[in-house]
Structure 1
Amino acid sequence: MKLVTIALTCALFSKAYPLDCFECIPTGIGSCSQMTKTCPASETKCASVTVAVTTGGKQIPVKMKSCTTPDQCISGSLNSGIFMTTINTQCCDSNLCNNQEPPALPESSTNGKKCFTCAASGDCTSTLECKGSEDRCFMVTVPAVGKVKGCASQSFCSGSLNTQLGAIVDENCCEGNLCNNALRIGQSILFLLLVPLASFVLFN
């Protein structure tokens, strides 16, 4: 009986310890310098993230590592027609387990859904065929860029991610073909990271 009590006590005590994760926050395109971080109690996962922006046939990946919460362990894609942004997140729950670098998600085939897209001229009447898990249409207003429309995975609209590269963005997601006119549906922190990142790659 004493052994059982000791084992249960040790298990509970071990769970009280905060998690240690590798942290790697990029300051630009490419890899970043890695260090260790003791996570706050609310962040129970270690994450390795690869965000990749593809435009003009060229793919540019950005690697990140950090402590995170389970709802931030997401993957998916966002496609404006001019650029495509994918995110591939791998999460784990032991100390310093996020030492891997997940690959960028491969490009998927079209899935039959269509959304409005905006040309460089600002015209937003063209349509775009969505790919893979992109089951939502989106519209964002990016400072100094204007409106961006296209297809997005549901995880981009309902998930969340630390906004180390954040900016002020007004974002809308909706379901149904060609639903991304001007209707405000919902907001996601993900766009605070991914749309400015795509815009940076596109215009620099």
Structure 2
Amino acid sequence: MLLLLIFGIVLLPKAFALKCYECLPGLSACTDTPKDCPSSTHCSAMRVISYAGSSKLSELSMKTCALAEQCVEGSINFGVSKTVLSTKCCTSELCNKQPAPDPPKNNPNGKKCYRCDGKTCTGTLNCEGNEDYCVSSEVDVGGNKMTMKGCASKSLCSSKGSAQIAEGLGSELSCCQGNYCNSAGAAIASLVILVAPLISLVLFS
């Protein structure tokens, strides 16, 4: 009986682990490769799109295993640049065959945050779609500190991940709730662990 219990403890995680497609961006075009994922993860397809104004700068697509808290959608909008994250997660075998959907077309939602023009951060940015938080940061660009302010989706804001954001963006990036709350000194919550490295890759590589 004890032996059966031990086998059950060892084998159960594997029995309930999903097999998902993995396709990670690299130097060459990626192909879907089946992968055994850890237990308690989902299959995911993700798309990260970077814009400069209304022009699309780059698009990054990937498929992999993901934790439930990484299955989020949203955007970060600095006015001069915007990054949109679209994620589709599922919980059946090899269910992430299709790429993540195109993000929806967003219209102004009535929320307003400060944005920066050069060294001045008193301009108004009209938030779009589900961007219901304001965001602010000082980013290290070529050895110079650049202040960036704008709008962010609630789904991308979390109290975790400060260390990875500092590494990826060059400084802490913070969210707050309320119109124009991202004035000097406003710092409430850091962005989620998953999104920060992707944003730094798309915006600042």
How far is the alpha carbon of 1:138 from its aligned partner? Answer: 0.4
Provide closer, same or farther for how the CA distance between residues 198 and 82 of structure 1 changes in structure 2, counting only shifts above 3 A: farther
Provide closer, same or farther for how the CA distance between residues 31 and 147 of structure 1 changes in structure 2, counting only shifts above 3 A: farther
| Alignment correspondent of 1:186 | 189
How far is the alpha carbon of 1:102 from its aligned partner? Answer: 1.9
Alignment counterpart, residue 136 of structure 1, candidates 133, 136, 153: 133
Structure 2 stretches of 5 or more lacking a match? 1-7
Alignment counterpart, residue 54 of structure 1, candidates 48, 51, 56: 51
- Equivalent pair of 2:53/2:79 in contact (CA under 8 Å): no
| Alignment correspondent of 1:196 | 200
Provide closer, same or farther for how the CA distance between residues 27 and 110 of structure 1 changes in structure 2, counting only shifts above 3 A: same
- Equivalent pair of 1:168/1:192 in contact (CA under 8 Å): no
Aligned to 2:39, what secondary structure does the other structure show? coil
TM superposition score normalised by structure 1: 0.79
Distance in 2, matches of 1:31 and 1:118, equals 37
How far is the alpha carbon of 1:142 from its aligned partner? Answer: 2.2
- Equivalent pair of 1:72/1:159 in contact (CA under 8 Å): no
Distance in 2, matches of 1:49 and 1:159, equals 22
* 1:36-69 C-alpha deviation (Å, 9 max, x unpaired): 22112242x0000111111143223210111011
1:156 aligns with 2:159: no
| Alignment correspondent of 2:3 | none
Provide closer, same or farther for how the CA distance between residues 87 and 191 of structure 1 changes in structure 2, counting only shifts above 3 A: closer
* 1:12-48 C-alpha deviation (Å, 9 max, x unpaired): 96983321111122137x96343222112242x0000
- Equivalent pair of 1:51/1:104 in contact (CA under 8 Å): no
How far is the alpha carbon of 1:172 from its aligned partner? Answer: 0.7
Distance in 1, matches of 2:195 and 2:113, equals 17
| Alignment correspondent of 2:4 | none
How far is the alpha carbon of 1:133 from its aligned partner? Answer: 0.6
Let me know the Cα RMSD of the aligned residues.
3.0
Distance in 1, matches of 2:64 and 2:81, equals 26
- The number of equivalent residue pairs is 187
Fraction of identical pairs, as percent:
39
Distance in 1, matches of 2:35 and 2:159, equals 23
Provide closer, same or farther for how the CA distance between residues 122 and 37 of structure 1 changes in structure 2, counting only shifts above 3 A: farther
Structural mapping, 1:93-112, within 5 Å: 93-112=91-110
Structure 1 stretches of 5 or more lacking a match? 1-8
Provide closer, same or farther for how the CA distance between residues 14 and 185 of structure 1 changes in structure 2, counting only shifts above 3 A: closer
How far is the alpha carbon of 1:98 from its aligned partner? Answer: 0.6
Alignment counterpart, residue 172 of structure 2, candidates 155, 170, 173: 170
How far is the alpha carbon of 1:159 from its aligned partner? Answer: 9.0
TM superposition score normalised by structure 2: 0.78
